[in-house]
Amino acid sequence: MSLRDHHNRRSFLAIAGGAAASMALIGRWAPAAESAPSDGAITAVTLIHGIPGKEEQLKQHLLSLAAPTRAEPGCITYDLYQSPDRKHEFMRFEVWRSLDDLEAHKKMPHLRASFEKRQKEGWTTEILTWARVPE
């Protein structure tokens, strides 16, 4: 990884982390009280790095995962974001009822097929998991 790539990755991670923190602070992802996450809830910030000039194909693929994933048990939030400056960079912000629910999600056929497609297309994915700190 070149110094420039490392800098770009760090910048993207900083922006994505800031976006996730901002959403949590303003309650963007907070569900209604009847479905509020328990202390075992897990947040996953998934960074997807596409190929410049081919962002539309990646975006459509990622959007196709939303409906089946939101229907999974334990899925509280599953939203896609795109960098306004680096159109081939995406962030998925997810909140799951538990780590077990997130792990089950990773084994679902639609997600396994997605990971295979990402590898074939040269898209890379980083998953960062976070546990909410109780107040």
Residue 135 pLDDT class (50, 70, 90 cuts): confident
- All domains in the chain, ordered by first residue: 3-131 (3.30.70.100)
Query: In the sheet that 75-82 helps form, which strands lie side by side, from edge to edge?
Result: 75-82, 89-96, 42-49, 124-131
**pTM of this prediction exceeds 0.95:** no
- Rounded-to-integer distance, Cα 77 and Cα 53, Å: 29
pLDDT mean over 5-14: 54
Is 68 in contact with 110 (CB distance < 8 Å)? yes
pLDDT digits (tens, 9 = 90+) for 77-113: 999 999 999 999 999 999 999 999 999 999 999 999 9
- Rounded-to-integer distance, Cα 110 and Cα 11, Å: 30
pLDDT for 133: 86
Is 99 in contact with 33 (CB distance < 8 Å)? no
| Mean of per-residue pLDDT scores for the chain | 82
pLDDT for 27: 43
- Rounded-to-integer distance, Cα 128 and Cα 126, Å: 7
Nearest to 50 by CA among 108, 125, 112, 109: 125
Please determine, for residue 8, whether its predicted confidence score (pLDDT) is greater than 70: no
